[in-house]
A and B are shown apart, each in its own frame.
Chain A
């Protein structure tokens, strides 16, 4: 099962210290040795981002920083484990003294109910994913 593990911040955050970078590096190595790490990125603060809101009359773009954001994602991992319980054990090992992490299960094509109506759409979804991964490893 794959999970998205997101680091959340209450407000704009600063760059990591070199200690934090070193500790995260060690943690990421453990994740990789265990075959759990499938991806991960740090995100720049919202000042480098934007929010797009859709309506019937079109899309509205507001540049960051986000003044109204209650919580921001600071970064995330994609982890693959046998169960939610196992991913939570890995999350507890993240070298944080404080903060919050949200864990969400990634929907796989196989998770969806396959019936006469959805089969074709699901096959197409699987096909583009297989193709996407071919592009990635090229």
Chain B
């Protein structure tokens, strides 16, 4: 089952402050561990919200607001997608993320899969074509 690991932003990430080389290397080793264990599906860092935008949809139109956005805690700075046997395993991996020890918050969310749709009363066949196409583009 796949889980998304969401790293919340903070003042530094929003200011574009680069992590130290030590942290970059520790992250690299952590990522290699994820790959070696066969759990890594994807991982990306995001540029600060100053390079982003929000689009609000309302009946009759939309409003586009350019970043930056305040409330760093509500923003995300990066994520991983991992494929593991259980939520507990996902949590164990998150606890190993290096360089976090000052109130950083990580959100773990389950990626919707056929069994989840079934549980919600949705026929997974409705997603089949969509999922097949998406799997194809996820492979480079």
Q: In the complex the two chains form, what is the Cα distance from A94 to B57 in whole Å? A: 9
Taking CB atoms, residues of chain B closer than 8 Å to A52 are: 91, 94-95, 105-106, 108
Contact in complex: A39, B35 (CB < 8 Å): no
- Minimum CB–CB distance from A70 to chain B (whole Å) comes to 6
Scan B20-54; emit 1 where CB is below 8 A from any A CB, else 0: 01001100100110010010111111110101111
Number of interface residues of B (CB under 8 A): 71
Contact in complex: A133, B140 (CB < 8 Å): yes
Choose from B95, B112, B120, B137 the contact partner of A41 (Cβ within 8 Å).
Answer: B112
Contact in complex: B105, A117 (CB < 8 Å): no
Which residues in chain B, 91-140, are within 8 Å of chain A measured between CB atoms?
91, 94-95, 100-112, 116-117, 120-123, 126-127, 129-130, 133-134, 137-140
Contact in complex: B56, A103 (CB < 8 Å): no
Which residues in chain A, 48-84, are within 8 Å of chain B measured between CB atoms?
48-56, 59, 61, 66, 70-71, 73, 75, 78, 84
Sorting the interface of chain A by its residue count into under 10, 10 to 19, 20 to 34 or 35 or more gives: 35 or more
Taking CB atoms, residues of chain A closer than 8 Å to B43 are: 132
Q: Is the interface of B mostly helix, strand, loop or mixed?
A: mixed
Taking CB atoms, residues of chain B closer than 8 Å to A4 are: 44, 46, 79
Choose from B21, B57, B91 the contact partner of A121 (Cβ within 8 Å).
Answer: B21
Q: A44-B111, A53-B105, A98-B59 are in contact. Are A107 and B45 (CB under 8 A)?
A: yes
Contact in complex: A39, B134 (CB < 8 Å): yes
Q: In the complex the two chains form, what is the Cα distance from A42 to B138 in whole Å? A: 15
- Minimum CB–CB distance from A73 to chain B (whole Å) comes to 7
- Minimum CB–CB distance from B12 to chain A (whole Å) comes to 14
Q: Which residues of A contact B (CB under 8 A)?
A: 2, 4, 6, 15-16, 18, 21-22, 24-25, 28-29, 32, 37-44, 46, 48-56, 59, 61, 66, 70-71, 73, 75, 78, 84, 88, 91-92, 94, 96-107, 111-112, 117-118, 120-121, 124-125, 128, 131-133, 135-137
Knowing that A54-B104, A56-B102 touch, tell me 13 more A-B residue pairs with CB under 8 angstroms. A4-B44, A6-B76, A28-B130, A48-B109, A49-B87, A51-B105, A52-B105, A54-B101, A54-B103, A73-B109, A92-B62, A132-B31, A136-B140
